[in-house]
Chains A and B, each alone.
Chain A
Amino acid sequence: MEWWSWLIVALAIVLAGAALVVPLQARRRSGGVIAQGRRPREGGGPKP
């Protein structure tokens, strides 16, 4: 293969990797608004 063919293959791999990583990374970093529910009472069990 010509040298430029390898260059195109390498660029394609880099682009495919970026296309995979960027949305994954955006999802890891995306924020939420988290409601915290009732705190479990120590020892558990039914409320006396």
Chain B
Amino acid sequence: MTAYMRASEIAKKPVVTLAGDDLGQVKDLVFDASTGSIRCFTLAGRGLLAGPLHRALLWRNVHALGPHAVMVRDESALEKDDRAARFGATEPGGGNVLGVAITTRSGERLGTVTDAVVETGRTPVVAGYEIETDEHRRVLLPVAGPVTVSGERVLVPDATAQYRAGDLSGFGTAAESLRVRLQQDSHEE
């Protein structure tokens, strides 16, 4: 079964070993701009005064992503630095997507990205975004088809504007409907 969660729900989850050691908490989600698949997390220390740990956790080293914690086998699952997370973030198409504008390919502005929706599974992917519209409403927008993501803008197919969900329970239906619509459009062309 496909499950969805907001990126903000994954951030701040503790990273715990199978032996029960607390290694830190998730800070950033890093994903591949072209495929949407999650590559790694960056970590911050636990506690009020702890800062970033400057160590990355690659997705392939995650044992389980649970509702309350990210489980890893042991401390060796963490990279020695956060180069894996920084790599490509400053390249064309890279950067933090929170706060960037989301527009259709024909130039219609849909809103500003406030969060990402992650489809969990064997390889989790960014399946959509929570956006704040110009009317200050927060809606969930699925992404499918040719999507261009960068730290400056997210460009989506025009049909995306018609498939919105108010919450995560309706997001799966909106995502599936968008997929079907884009397939129909590609067959007609």
Given contacts A28-B51, A38-B88, contact A33 B7 (CB under 8 A): yes
Measured between beta carbons, the chain A residues less than 8 angstroms from B31 are 33-36
Given contacts A28-B51, A31-B12, contact A36 B91 (CB under 8 A): yes
A32 sits at the interface (CB 8 A): yes
Interface positions of A (Cβ within 8 A of B): 25, 28-40
Residues of B in contact with A, size category: 35 or more
Interface positions of B (Cβ within 8 A of A): 7-8, 11-12, 26-34, 39, 42, 44, 48-52, 85, 87-98, 113, 115-116, 126, 149-151
- B94 and chain A: residue at smallest CB distance: A37
Q: Across the interface, do A36 and B98 meet the contact criterion of CB distance under 8 Å?
A: no
Q: Across the interface, do A25 and B98 meet the contact criterion of CB distance under 8 Å?
A: no
- A39 and chain B: residue at smallest CB distance: B88
**Can you identify 14 A-B contacts, CB atoms within 8 angstroms?**
A29-B50, A30-B27, A31-B12, A33-B28, A34-B97, A35-B93, A35-B95, A35-B97, A36-B31, A36-B88, A37-B89, A37-B91, A37-B93, A40-B91
Measured between beta carbons, the chain B residues less than 8 angstroms from A34 are 28-31, 42, 85, 89, 94-97
- A31 and chain B: residue at smallest CB distance: B11
CA distance A32 to B96 in the complex (A): 6
Residue among B51, B87, B151 making CB contact with A39, cutoff 8 Å: B87
Q: Across the interface, do A31 and B29 meet the contact criterion of CB distance under 8 Å?
A: yes
CA distance A30 to B90 in the complex (A): 19
